[in-house]
Amino acid sequence: MAITVRPSRLLFAAALTGLGIIGVVNGDFALVWQHIPVHHLPGRTAIADACAAVELACGVGLLLRRTRRLACRILFSFLLLWVILLEIPSLPGHWLNVDAWAGVAEITTILAGGWVLFAVYSGPWERHYLKFAVVRHGVEIARWLLIASLPALGLQLILRGASYHLPPWLAWLPSGRDWVYLSGIGSLAASLALLFGVWPRLAATLEAAMMGVITICVWGPWLQTGRTAMTAFLISSLIVASIWIVADTYRGVPWLAVGHPAWDGEPGLHAQEGA
C-alpha cells in the first residue's frame, strides 16, 4: 500500500483525520461547524461517533492508493450532506447576515476540495452515471464553488473588521485591523481572478497561503487550550487544504497566465499521477 500524496492532499487528509479523532474522543460533532438543529436528537452520540468515524476513515483512506477512490466517494457524499442538511437550513431568516453566509462558505470551500478529489479519482461507474460531476465537469463545479464561497469569507472580514481584536501575540503588527481588511479584500480579489481567469493559479495559491498564515497565527497559539481551539484549527486547515487542492487544478498553467476562466475546467492533474 504505497503512500503517495501531494502536499495539499496530505494536509487535507491530516486535518480530516484529526477532526475524526477529536470526534471519537469527545463523542460529539465539530461544534458550530456541524451544528445539529435538533438539540435532543435521538441517538445523537451514535450519529456523532459515526460522523467522526467517517472523517477518520476517509482521512486515512486518502493516503493509500488502494482505498483512495472509495475514500473520495464516501467523503464527497459526506461533505455534500453536511452542506445540504446542516449548513443551508441555517440561511432562511438570515439572508442579510454575513456571518451566516460565511459559515456556509467555510463548508462549501471544503466541499470544493472534496469535489476535486472525487472528480479526479472517479472510477468507471462515476464516469458513466455521474459524468456531469466528475473529471473536467467536476473540476469546473469545484472552481465555481470556491468562487462563490470566497466573497462571503472576504465580506465577513471587511464588515466585521472593526470589531475584530488581534490576539496578543500579534499586537506588534502596525495597523492591526487594516490587516483584517486587507485579508478580506484579498479573498474578494482571488474570487474575481478565478472567475475571469486572470492569474488564476497564482490567485488560488496566494489565497491558500494567506488562509494558512491566518490559521497558524490566530489558532496555532491556542491549541493547548483544548478542544475548541483544536477544532477551529483543523477546520481552518481543511479550508486551506481545499483552496490549495483547487489551486492544484491549475498545474501546468503559467503563474501569470490569463484566459483561463472558471468554466475552462480541464484538470491540471490526473489520478494516475498520485497527486
Domain ranges of the chain: 7-273
Using CB atoms within 10 Å of the CB of residue 36, give its burial: 0 to 12 exposed, 13 to 18 middle, 19+ buried: middle
The three three-digit cell numbers of residue 161, written as one number: 473588521
What string of DSSP letters covers 32-100? GGG--S-TT-TTHHHHHHHHHHHHHHHHHHTTBHHHHHHHHHHHHHHHHHIIIIIIGGG-TT-TT-HHH
Return the pLDDT at 32: 67
Return the pLDDT at 125: 94
**Residue 15 Cα to chain centre, angstroms:** 10
Return the pLDDT at 231: 92
- What are the pLDDT tens digits along the chain (275 aa)? 344 578 999 999 999 999 999 998 888 877 767 776 655 567 777 888 899 999 999 999 999 999 999 999 999 999 999 999 889 988 998 899 999 999 999 999 999 999 999 999 999 999 999 999 998 899 999 999 999 999 999 999 999 877 777 777 777 777 777 888 999 999 999 999 999 999 999 999 999 999 999 999 988 988 888 888 999 999 999 999 999 999 999 988 999 999 888 776 555 544 444 44
Four-residue CA torsion sign, 96, 101, 102, 103 = positive
Return the pLDDT at 41: 63
